[in-house]
């Protein structure tokens, strides 16, 4: 169907939501393609993923209002579960995912960006959760992730008022890590992904798991999670090469993902 495109550049995967005529809005077909695209990524080759939207106007403008407008209670809950399942897959994807937010990231678009590890955006980006203005709540994790990423009081204000914020405010709140002119966004995303991809991939994956899992539990449990993942790295060829290169005062020849 072509609603989601995938391109691989060396060890970097680029996933593009490709529905520009609808500002890349999410419907059931887009969600299904997004899930199947991530399922098909070769983790032996790809070490970091960039997620973006087609065109320069919109990352994802939200979920498809036309599809949602006639849903029953049961259908609404099922649609929310579909989106949450896909976004949770991205959030827990073994390798890092960078959201390159080009333009609108509203409703489901903001929720999709928040499911990624790192968010950078263009200077024309706009973020928000406008759902209460439509008579619904955020349904793809917005009430949960926004309050975890930024100040909970500010998250409540944005959600309760259905207010949008522009790129500089998103940066100030910590919702994004950096803002770039639109033409520099993808080069910046690829540069960041390249830095990640050059490091030991098993160690990077272990770091993602340690951070994500550790944030869900208390500190005593969290440090045990870290200890076990730290220890697991010592079974890898990349650990042997990385430390050998350090001791020999040379650069690592190549991390082999083993």
Distance CA 115, CA 87 (A): 6
- pLDDT greater than 70 at residue 22: yes
Q: Are residues 68 and 45 in the same domain?
A: yes
Average per-residue pLDDT for the chain? 95
Which residues are part of the catalytic machinery?
A: 111, 131
- pLDDT greater than 90 at residue 254: no
Contacts of 175 (CB under 8 A, 6+ apart): 114, 119, 127, 146, 149, 150, 165
Q: What share of the chain is helix, strand, coil (3-state, %, to 5)?
A: 50, 15, 30
Range of the domain at 232: 201-247
- pLDDT greater than 60 at residue 75: yes
Tokens of 157: 């204000």
Q: Are residues 142 and 46 in the same domain?
A: yes
Contacts of 100 (CB under 8 A, 6+ apart): 50, 51, 52, 59, 120, 121, 185, 186, 188, 189
Q: Are residues 8 and 108 in the same domain?
A: yes
Q: What is the pTM of this model?
A: 0.94
Taking a C-beta distance cutoff of 8 angstroms, is the pair 17, 53 a contact? yes
Taking a C-beta distance cutoff of 8 angstroms, is the pair 159, 130 a contact? no
Mean pLDDT (whole number) for 3-18: 97
Q: Are residues 171 and 135 in the same domain?
A: yes
- pLDDT greater than 80 at residue 1: no
- We report the CATH number of the domain holding residue 216 as 1.10.12.10
Distance CA 24, CA 44 (A): 29
Total domain count for the chain? 2
Tally Cβ neighbours within 10 Å of residue 122: 24
**Backbone dihedral angles phi then psi of residue 150, each to the nearest 5 degrees:** -115, 180
């Amino acid at each position: 169907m072509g609603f989601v495109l995938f391109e691989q550049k060396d060890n970097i995967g680029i996933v593009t939501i490709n529905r520009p005529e609808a500002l890349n809005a999410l419907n059931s077909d887009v969600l299904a393609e997004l899930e199947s695209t991530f399922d098909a990524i070769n983790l032996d080759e790809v070490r970091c993923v960039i997620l973006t939207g087609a065109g320069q106007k919109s990352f994802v403008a939200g979920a498809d209002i036309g599809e949602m407008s006639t849903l029953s209670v049961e259908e609404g809950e099922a649609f929310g579960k579909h989106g949450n399942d896909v976004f949770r897959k991205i959030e827990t994807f073994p390798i890092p995912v960078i959201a390159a937010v080009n333009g609108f990231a509203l409703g489901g678009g903001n929720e999709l960006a928040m499911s990624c590890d790192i968010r950078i955006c263009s200077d024309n980006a706009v973020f928000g959760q406008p759902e209460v203005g439509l008579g619904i709540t955020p349904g793809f994790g917005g009430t949960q992730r926004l309050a975890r990423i930024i100040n909970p009081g500010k998250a409540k204000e944005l959600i309760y008022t259905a207010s949008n914020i522009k790129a500089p405010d998103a940066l100030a709140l910590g919702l994004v890590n950096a803002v770039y002119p639109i033409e520099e966004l993808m080069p910046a995303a690829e540069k960041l992904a390249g830095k990640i991809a050059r490091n030991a991939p098993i160690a990077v994956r272990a770091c993602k798991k340690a951070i994500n899992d550790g944030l869900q539990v208390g500190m005593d449990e969290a440090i045990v999670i870290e200890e076990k993942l730290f220890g697991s790295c010592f079974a890898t060829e990349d650990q042997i090469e990385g430390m050998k290169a350090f001791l020999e005062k040379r650069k690592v020849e190549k991390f082999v993902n083993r």
